[in-house]
Amino acid sequence: MDYRQIPAIFLADAPGLDFLNSVATPVDEPVDWISDGEGLLAWLDQAGLVPSGAIEDVRVRSTPAELDEAAARARELREWFRGFVRKRKGRPLTARDVRALEPLNQLLERDEQHAEIVAGAPGGVTPFELRANRRWQSAASLLMPIAEALARVVCEEDFTHVKACEGPGCTLMFADHTRGHVRRWCSMAICGNRAKVAAHRKRLREQANG
């Protein structure tokens, strides 16, 4: 299915985990929203990880081949991080896990950011605030906000509550921020409802057979 025919999925409550969900099976066929360079640009725009103006600048400066290469690297990063998360979800991270994060640290080292003093919000403590700006010099720079989002998952989320949807065949992951951490489904409207229907049918069969 063409990724252009269906909106990307954002329900993980953590941008880094939403990135893992950029390939999924929302209906019957798998959809990869970053299957090519234009798909990567569209997904980053929908995710709000890159300013729209920067996306257009990168599109103008880059060849289609360069954008496709950035998308290929993003997919490699996605599957590497998926393996990291799946192996450790449901338990707290420990200091020893940092060794497995070396590929992500190597990518973060290549980031180009600079700070800028800008006018602050009205009523603030001071009239100014310090904003971090990124230099979008090439298609490869599109990987930097993704790497930062993955790093935030590692540093800010309790992996005890990072979960995979319990829906049969569903590949979506999420951070369970619910009270009591009772979330089981990517969405109650999708997998949750399917589970309710399946349970209802099972009860009817058991009653009929009983």
Query: Model confidence over 176-196: pLDDT tens digits?
Result: 999 999 999 898 777 856 656
Q: What is the 8-class DSSP label of residue 8?
A: P
Percent pLDDT > 90 in the chain is 74
What is the average pLDDT score of the chain? 90
CATH-assigned architecture of domain 3-160 = Orthogonal Bundle (1.10)
What is the rounded distance in angstroms from the CA atom of residue 25 to the CA atom of residue 36?
18
Of 159, 154, 168, 163, nearest in space to 182 by CA: 163
CB-based contact 183:163 (threshold 8 Å): yes
Q: Which two tokens stand for residue 180?
A: 């009591």
Amino acid 140: pLDDT: 96
Nearby residues of 106 by Cβ (< 8 Å), 6 or more positions away: none
Q: What is the average pLDDT across 152-173?
A: 94
Name which residue leads in pLDDT, 118 or 4: 118
- Residue 200's pLDDT band (cuts 50, 70, 90): very low
Is 157 exposed, middle or buried (CB count within 10 Å of its CB: 0-12, 13-18, 19+)? buried
Of 49, 41, 58, 60, nearest in space to 144 by CA: 49
Residue 111 has pLDDT above 50, yes or no: yes
Please state the φ and ψ torsions of residue 174, each to the nearest 5 degrees. -160, 165
Residue ranges of the domains in the chain? 3-160
**pLDDT tens column, 52-93:** 999 999 999 999 999 999 999 999 999 999 999 999 999 999
CB-based contact 134:113 (threshold 8 Å): yes
Amino acid 191: pLDDT: 85
CB-based contact 143:111 (threshold 8 Å): no
